[in-house]
Chains A and B, each alone.
Chain A
Amino acid sequence: MTELTDALEAQITRWRTWLRRQPALRPEDVDELEGHLRDQIAALLEAGLAGDEAFLVAVKRMGRLDAVSREFAREHSDRLWKQLVAAPEEDAASGRAARREVPVVLGLAVAAALAIQLPQLFGHQFGEGGFYALNASLFVLPLLAGYFAWKRGLDRARCLGLAGAFAAAAVAVNLVPFEPGGHTELLAVLHLPIALWLVVGAAYVGGRWWGNVAGRMDFVRFSGELFIYFVLIALGGGVLTAFTIISFEAIGLDVEGSAQRLILPSGAAGAVIVGAWLVEAKQSVIENMAPVLTRVFTPLFAGLLLALLAAMVWTGRGVGVEREVLIAFDLLLAVVLGLLLYAVSARDPLAPPDLFDRILLVLVVSALVADGVALAAIATRISEFGFSPNRVAALGENLVLLVNLGWSAWLYARFVAGRGPFAAVERWQTAYLPVYAAWAALVVLGFPPLFGFA
């Protein structure tokens, strides 16, 4: 075989790189076409052509590459649908790693599914009493953190740190003498997963949490995608459970109770691990869903909030001061924050501000105004009726979100006005993440003694 010159090799490499970008072409198709091109070039060189002449003729005979790749796409239309389960194997080494990953993931998922059943052996019933509600996240999240510790190759010290954090949380929540069914216990149930999620985040970023803006942003993206995958898997699980109950009922067996006791918790626990793996596997394969949903719902929520504010001004009605109202506004702020966060996560930091950025700013500002009105109403309620754990928790949440959104609005306004970089918004959002966890930890650990475990 004739040795090709470096210049010719470089031309072939460029040609090959272009082909590699075609979604309908698999790497082995590209190999095949490249082999053909090289055969053709060799024959033409043999016939006396100069190197670049041979390359030009061979490429010309190959035909227009877009037409060829269109023909491939017609033959393999399935390839344009990215197959998630059969994730592409870039090279042999990562292929081996991916194959090793499946047993690890399945093992962890099964472990989570079994772990969540363990307390039932000791008389704790799922859905009854506080034990399950308090500890549910402690059966799943350590395994999820373990998956990332394995995947990111965390060193022993960091692994021990993560394990220590989970162990401390487990000991703390089980030692607190909650009054059964009390408010502080319910608040702890709601806030413990939020605090522990930060520990998962520390594992996700490979233990490098501090000053790691990009890593934290990835964790935000991961969280959103995992949520979407979890919901999808949960829908499938719901169908499976319904079929189980109906089909056993058909043969005269009532399995509704055991299905709810066994399938539901185990399925949910396993789904967290499997969902996390899917998000990891597909992050480069499929477009992220959370930013797409953000694009759809940001204008809709902005419209809703403007309509709400207009209605308040028009009718002169204030916000009611029921506790539900405060919680509703907390949720609203959380949704707005989520929209902001996922818009930020998907945005090219270097692109100039566009219409969507303005809509987002309108959304954040109108949410702030609406929340300000609600807070004013609630402040009077608290001064009238005193502090209860629920009111303080809801108020604290509101303040935590308000501070974030207020400063975000300021940074975003500067960016839209062309007076500040977009990166400032990103930095602010990622820097704020530990605040949620700190507040959640305070609610879990600080509130019970503060309010007499009521």
Chain B
Amino acid sequence: MNIGKDLVAASATPLVLAILAEGDSYGYAIIRRVAELSGGELQWTDGMLYPVLHRLERFGYVEARWATAETGRRRRYYRITSEGTAHLAAQRRQWQVVDSALRGIWTGMRFAFA
């Protein structure tokens, strides 16, 4: 399935923040986790994740640090901040409103997709 560009962009922030809320992570692992969570349906262009991460860093939602991974390669690890957690909670409420509104209307028009 091809998910629209705007929707991918809008969902990127809550997804990344939620994944970081599970634990510190780095770019490649975040991409893998997104694919895993969506069953491979949500395919990001890998390179586009990094500008998103940098924007979240500028807003103060995440912190970054360089560390050496067990493979011996240096990686940039991201950690969610308390502002990030608060922002994630706000995003979650917003998405729940959207989600429940859509659910309400999907159930009413279920026959249309049959």
Contact = CB atoms under 8 A, between A and B. Distances in A.
Nearest to B71: A1
Interface residues of B, number: 20
A36 B44 CA distance: 14
A63 B50 contact: no
A89 to B, nearest CB: 16
A347 interface: no
Given A1-B72, A1-B73, A36 B51 contact: no
B28 A35 contact: yes
A32 B46 contact: no
Contacts, number: 63
12 contacts: A1-B72, A35-B26, A36-B28, A40-B28, A40-B46, A63-B48, A64-B45, A65-B47, A68-B47, A68-B51, A71-B51, A72-B51
Say whether chain B's binding surface is mostly helix, strand, loop, or mixed. Answer: helix
Interface string A55-72: 000000111110110011
Interface pairs A-B: 6 shortest CB-CB = A63-B45, A68-B47, A39-B28, A71-B51, A63-B47, A62-B47
A34 to B, nearest CB: 9
B71 A75 contact: no
Interface residues of A, number: 23
Among A31, A36, A64, A72, max chain B CB count under 10 A is at: A36
Contact of B46 (A29, A61, A74): A61
A62 B51 contact: no
Contact of B50 (A1, A29, A39): A29
Given A31-B74, A32-B76, A35-B73, A76 B50 contact: no
Interface in B5-47: 26-28, 31, 45-47
A70 to B, nearest CB: 9
Nearest to B49: A36
A97 to B, nearest CB: 23
A33 interface: yes
A63 B43 CA distance: 11
Nearest to A32: B76
Contacts of B47: 33, 36, 62-63, 65, 67-68, 71
A414 interface: no
Nearest to A63: B45
Contacts of B103: none
B59 to A, nearest CB: 11
Nearest to A42: B71
Contacts of A40: 28, 46
B87 interface: no
A32 B28 CA distance: 10
A75 B27 contact: no
Contacts of A62: 45-47
B50 A33 contact: yes
A36 B27 contact: yes
Interface in A16-39: 28-29, 31-33, 35-36, 38-39
Among A1, A39, A62, A63, max chain B CB count under 10 A is at: A39
B110 interface: no
A281 B43 CA distance: 44
Nearest to A70: B51
Given A38-B73, A74-B51, A76-B54, A32 B27 contact: yes
B46 A36 contact: yes
A75 B51 contact: yes
B93 interface: no
A1 B72 CA distance: 8
A75 B73 contact: no
Contact of A61 (B26, B45, B71): B45
A191 B75 CA distance: 60
A233 B75 CA distance: 43
B97 to A, nearest CB: 28
Interface in B43-79: 45-48, 50-51, 54-55, 58, 66, 71-76
A74 B54 CA distance: 11
Contacts of B54: 29, 72, 75-76
Contacts of B26: 35
A74 B46 CA distance: 17
A72 B54 CA distance: 9
Interface string A1-26: 10000000000000000000000000
A32 B50 contact: yes
A72 B50 contact: yes
A75 B46 contact: no
B38 to A, nearest CB: 15
Given A32-B27, A35-B73, A62-B45, 7 more contacts: A33-B50, A61-B46, A62-B47, A63-B45, A68-B50, A68-B51, A72-B51
A64 B54 CA distance: 19
A391 B47 CA distance: 70
A139 to B, nearest CB: 47
A108 B37 CA distance: 61
